[in-house]
Amino acid sequence: MGIVSATRLNSFLSSPNWGDAQSDEAAMLCEEVESTLADRLMTKITTIPYVERVAILQTGLVATRYPVYSVTSINGAPVTGNLPAPWVIQEGYLRWTDTGAFPPVADPLFSLATGWSALGMAPRVNGIGEVGLAYQAGWGDNDSLRLAILRKAGVIWLNRHDDSIIVRNLDSQSPPPLPTEEWTDAELAPLGIYRNLAAWK
């Protein structure tokens, strides 16, 4: 289930009276809209469990493939509650804030089959070290992304189901344009901060 449900879309559209079939269709529409947005931004929106071994750059930024919503374990050590210092999550990015010290890292021979190794000193590869992470990848229920999905799903829903949409513009010379189901550059422009710049990995 995505961050926008049929119930949220119904509320956004001023609570029209939907039957079960319409609610099911609205739920599928919300998932499709979120999926196409995630594809365009090359990222995850709804969070999923993800495991990877990544570099820690000289700035302390951990170069994860996706935004970090929460961390489950670091080098095999479970994380419950707050992250241990000097790890912090800032705006979807995990950071090692003590750039003067080498963080502990997973063994270079690390594999998902055998799990995490004992802690060791970080090699100087792509920055100050590497770390093995298990985390919830994605932006989660973010206000800006949720509103963008609601707006997009709303116009698509009205285009598909509201027979009066074509006559709302009183100027008979120029009927209103039909909304596109693809994300336009104008719709994506304010969401650029959520674009995944690490998708090349």
Average pLDDT, whole number, for the chain?
Answer: 82
Which residue, 70, 134, 131, is CA-closest to 103?
Answer: 131
**Which residues contact residue 162 at a Cβ distance below 8 angstroms, ignoring those fewer than 6 apart?**
none
Statement: the pTM of the whole predicted model exceeds 0.85: no
Q: What is the pLDDT of residue 81?
A: 85
Distance, CA of 190 to CA of 6 (rounded, Å): 24
Determine contact, residues 168/112, Cβ cutoff 8 Å: no
Domain ranges in the chain are 6-43+141-194, 48-137
pLDDT value at position 115? 38
What is the mean pLDDT of the segment spanning 179-187? 84
Please give the pLDDT value at position 161.
79
